[in-house]
Amino acid sequence: MIGGGFIGSEIAAALAMNGKEVVMIFPGKDIGDRVFPPPLAQFVSSFYRQKGVEILAGEEIVGLETRGNLHVLKTSSFREIVVDGVVAGVGIEPNVVLAQSAGLEVENGIVVDESLRTSHPDIYAAGDVAAFYNPALGKRIRVEHEDNANTMGRLAGRNMAGKSEAYHHLPFFYSDMFDLGYEAVGEVNSRLETFTDWKRPNEEGIIYYLQNDRVRGVLLWNVWEQVEAARQLIAEPGPFTVKDLEGKLPANLPT
Ligand SMILES: Cc1cc2nc3c(=O)[nH]c(=O)nc-3n(C[C@H](O)[C@H](O)[C@H](O)COP(=O)(O)OP(=O)(O)OC[C@H]3O[C@@H](n4cnc5c(N)ncnc54)[C@H](O)[C@@H]3O)c2cc1C
């Protein structure tokens, strides 16, 4: 498995759970370290090792050769790894060629206004490829997750059919790794300041991502039905200190 992000971690877990010998190779220090704060990322790597996954961190693939039925992966530190199959989960780039050739404004994806209209009034964009302004985060973002694609697609369709609704939805995403699972909202970037509020260390808890005394993202680690509460927290102007966040979620929201 090349890559240690969402796709890499999910596929490695799925293969291992199906009895395959798995080697994960990625340039970072630990699995998911662009999202998880370092102690949690270290825990996840050791958890995968316990499950039998071999982890080659700090390595990049520089070559791939096929010899008969086998494949030989060559790494940046001159290792050769012989495998039956290769899966690459190394990220995507939005395909904006068509949009560019149509003269649409493109900037890290197809730029849309809050009604999901592109720079051409008759053309709308939604999903992974669309860059939209999110008021809670106060900036233009592009999201590569299912909740965003589904919600945005529906709203674009309604607006194309004559409605005039604003897309203010802050998407969430989810992932499962063996028997660990999480849901996340907003900017979950381990380079932000983080505060981890464990109920049970590494098993159940909430990670808050802060910037300029505001909550920018929330990662719900084996904590469920808190996505809406997390969205509300991200929309709050703050200021928040780490102390204010202790025990803040899970929250009881009216149903
Ligand atoms: C392996 C994998 C696992 C994932 N797991 C998760 C997950 O666990 N949770 C989560 O939230 N998200 C997950 N995602 C992300 C999620 O699948 C995407 O966010 C979602 O599919 C985006 O939907 P979309 O409609 O914007 O784009 P896509 O689903 O990529 O659909 C784009 C469609 O447009 C077509 N197309 C492109 N160019 C043209 C053209 N010129 N003419 C006609 N058609 C064209 C493509 O062929 C494709 O059918 C995963 C993605 C992958 C690849």
Alpha-carbon Rg for the chain, nearest whole angstrom, is: 20
Tell the residue nearest (CA) to atom 42 of ligand 1: 98
Q: Is 145's C-beta closer than 6 angstroms to any atom of ligand 1? A: yes
Q: Pick the closest to residue 236 from 139, 132, 138 (CA basis).
A: 138
For the segment 57-77, the average pLDDT, to the nearest whole number, is 96
| Model confidence pLDDT, tens digit, residues 174-207 | 999 999 999 999 999 999 999 999 999 999 999 9
pLDDT at 56: 97
| pLDDT in the model for residue 252 | 79
H or E segment at 208?
A: strand 204-211
The model's pLDDT over 153-178, given as tens digits with 9 standing for 90+, comes to: 999 999 999 999 999 999 999 999 99
**pLDDT value of position 251:** 84
Overall average pLDDT of the 208-215 stretch: 96
CA nearest ligand 1 atom 3, residue: 7
d(CA 128, CA 232): 24
3-state secondary structure of 48: helix
What percentage of the chain carries pLDDT values higher than 90?
A: 96
In this predicted structure, the answer to whether residue 117 has a pLDDT above a threshold of 70 is yes
Percent of the chain scoring above 70 in pLDDT: 99
pLDDT at 18 over 70: yes
Please indicate whether residue 9, judged by its CB atom, sits closer than 6 Å to ligand 1. Answer: no
| Pocket flag, ligand 1, residue 174 (CB < 6 Å) | yes
Type and span of the H or E element at 175: strand 172-177
**What pLDDT score was predicted for residue 255?**
62
Is the CB of 98 within 6 Å of ligand 1?
yes
Q: How far is the CA of 184 from the centre of ligand 1 (A)?
A: 19
The per-residue DSSP string of 88-129 comes to: B--------HHHHHTT--BSSSEE--TT-B-SSTT-B--GGG
Average confidence (pLDDT) over 127-135: 97
State the average pLDDT for the chain. Answer: 96
pLDDT at 242: 87
Residue 79 pLDDT > 80: yes
